[in-house]
Structure 1
């Protein structure tokens, strides 16, 4: 597959949240292919995140791996701060972290579950 070069992205520092698998991992790889410096966030999927980071490094990219639970506001702040400190700045952010926290029928959801889903998917942004 040929990657279209976007010269304006080269050297930019980008944080991709939820980047251990799926869309986030693909975005992290795509930014790295554009010569971006990538902060790769993950929560529980450490091994897949390390595999993405290794693939980026193997292709000559620069990556910073950072863990955080985005349902916890202090973790969100820490991930952003550590990423910015590592690269000296952040030029871009992809808010990809999220999840359903289990498949529960709407009628069966209680307030605690609803709040947990909102904390992860909306408030963390």
Structure 2
């Protein structure tokens, strides 16, 4: 039987209807928040190619590394400044919950995003 799973980004939609379509290249993020959600979901499902493709070339590492033993469990969007359909820049503040061999924890970050060649990309943490 086919299992419909919820998207790890916490949108309430299915993975295929939400971030899965961005991961497969069937759609592009329309807002900075949508890109942030898709990047979290990519870490959660192990799609580091999506993480790499959506990282600004000026700031991205040569090869994003997986974090063995880390499971990304939930995403909270705390604040969004700009980053809408008509914007070229945006800021998304979030808390990404995870478990690791050391236990449960959360990454709290305020990140900047830019449009590059018409597509949203992650630039850096503020």
Q: TM-score, normalised by structure 1?
A: 0.28
- Greater percentage in helix: 1
Q: TM-score, normalised by structure 2?
A: 0.28
- Greater percentage in strand: 2
